[in-house]
Structure 1
Amino acid sequence: MPKVAIFIGSISDEETIKPCTDVLRSLGISFRFTVSSAHRTPERTERLVEELEGSGTQVFICAAGMAAHLAGAVAARTTKPVIGIPVTASALGGMDALLATVQMPPGFPVATVALDKAGARNAAWLAAQMLALADPDLAKRIADARAGFREDAAKAGADLEARYPG
């Protein structure tokens, strides 16, 4: 049973959202990654949410561009947390997707992250933090990863200072 479900509105979003799967894999979190559209396949989206929720999925991550109704459509079908990733897919530079994802009616929240690949990474980290509330081992893996980020930043700072001595 996947702990996280990742829905993309179009196969063209795969490469943009792939960093989400990389983070989840690095933390040992099971997931299902699929295409399901709020507009082209609404029945499939509804069926998948029901099936996944029934099998124990705890967090839904939805990525879509332009009208970006996917996260809202999923939020309407589940009481589990939904994280929305707006995808740049039009001449509006992702603003259309951002506004469509973030502006939800009361009672149907979507936790919206940044656009595109940065958002994909943070959606995975946010899902991990949600799951870690009930999983101390996962919380430790997250803490260890953050310690690694700090070490990497300190090393990069030291390397830069060594290349530019005062």
Structure 2
Amino acid sequence: MSQNDTPLVGIIMGSQSDMPAMQPCMDQLDQFGIPYEVKVASAHRKPAVVHEWAASAHERGMRVVIAAAGKAAHLGGVVAAYTPLPVIAVPMKTSDLGGLDSLLSMVQMPSGVPVACVAINGTKNAAILATQILGASDSAARDTIIQFKRGMAE
């Protein structure tokens, strides 16, 4: 991603320790040529930072948010409460329950605050889904996905 590109995807994770697991997400977005922004902020330890970042994401030009968290995994839901953008949650694998705790926290959202959810550590799929969402209104992103899927079929 060049520094002059306005990020279309916001990636937020609850801890710096999530960065290695999120690398395939960033690599996939790079491969697709989708500009993104990365933020590390916990919904529990830095709620004001998360609020400000999520509430202003659409004003900064983002169109999709990917939120990765483990354990209680409230980050995706908190972000979804503050942004009009679609939010894709990535449950992170945990040592306690292998990520099942994260997954269940993310898929049990209250009515009116939806969050899409990928598999535990499904970071690459989050990038692909974000690009598909962008492709609903952006022909370049749509063409990227069409070519990606053709490549998978070969």
State whether TM-score is above 0.5. yes
Counterpart residue number, 1:163? none
Contact 1:20 1:121 in 2 (8 A): yes
TM superposition score normalised by structure 1: 0.87
Runs of 4+ in 1 over 6 A off after TM superposition: none
TM-aligned CA deviation for residue 107 of structure 1: 0.5
Larger Rg: 1
Counterpart residue number, 1:146? 149
After superposition, where does 1:32-71 map in structure 2 within 5 Å? Answer: 32-71=37-76
- Provide structure 2 residue ranges, at least 5 long, that are not aligned to the other structure: 1-5
Which of 117, 130, 134 does residue 131 from structure 1 map onto? 134
Pairwise CA RMSD: 0.9
TM superposition score normalised by structure 2: 0.94
How far apart, CA to CA, are the structure 1 residues paired with 2:148 and 2:93?
28
TM-aligned CA deviation for residue 33 of structure 1: 1.1
Q: Percent identity?
A: 45
Contact 2:91 2:102 in 1 (8 A): yes
How far apart, CA to CA, are the structure 1 residues paired with 2:8 and 2:43?
22
Which of 2, 8, 18 does residue 3 from structure 1 map onto? 8
Q: How many residues align?
A: 149
- Provide structure 1 residue ranges, at least 5 long, that are not aligned to the other structure: 152-166
Which of 53, 70, 78 does residue 73 from structure 1 map onto? 78
Counterpart residue number, 1:88? 93
